[in-house]
Amino acid sequence: MITALLRLPEDKRNWSPETTSRTAQDMVAECAILNGSTADVITNRTFPADFDFADYGRQKAVLAQHGDAVQSLLQENTARAIAAIRAVPDEDLQVEVQMPWGPMALAQIISYPYWNMSYHEGQINYVASMLGCLE
């Protein structure tokens, strides 16, 4: 994901093709924050009752303005997510965790960082293709 982000010219990392579109840095900031949150959910087997979605949005907006910080947090929280995933024994994969939108099996939760980062990396690469930055 960082490779895709760095493929974009620096002045285009916080650019979007439409006013309703998200920037590449915003998508990376989402993954950076949520990989850490997901690591916590996996480790604690519970979604925090005090999770504030509005505060998350504010944190993401601020983080997206700082390129080095967003990349560092992505690396740090991805490493945390990987460690949390590796610590889950196979027999716990069907354990259900109550999420705000309903119960999810731990197997589904541990796949979230992968598919979310893959999805957003594809979006960043699409922006790169629009800008002629793909090799």
Q: For residues 63 and 41, what is the distance between their CA atoms, to the nearest angstrom?
A: 21
Across the chain, the runs of DSSP E, i.e. the strands, are: 96-99, 102-105
Tell me what pLDDT residue 134 has.
80
State the chain's mean pLDDT as an integer.
96
Q: For residues 16 and 12, what is the distance between their CA atoms, to the nearest angstrom?
A: 8
Q: What would the mean pLDDT of 43-64 be, rounded to a whole number?
A: 96
Q: What is the pLDDT of residues 60-71, one digit of tens each?
A: 999 999 999 999
Using an 8 Å Cβ cutoff, are 56 and 33 in contact?
yes
The two three-digit tokens of residue 33, written as one number: 């924050």
Residues 6+ apart with CB under 8 A from 25: 5, 13, 14, 64, 65, 67, 70
For domain 2-8+22-131, give the fold: Four Helix Bundle (Hemerythrin (Met), subunit A) (1.20.120)
Q: Where are the domains of the chain?
A: 2-8+22-131
Asked whether the predicted pLDDT for residue 131 surpasses 90, the reply is yes
pLDDT, greater one: 134 or 131 = 131
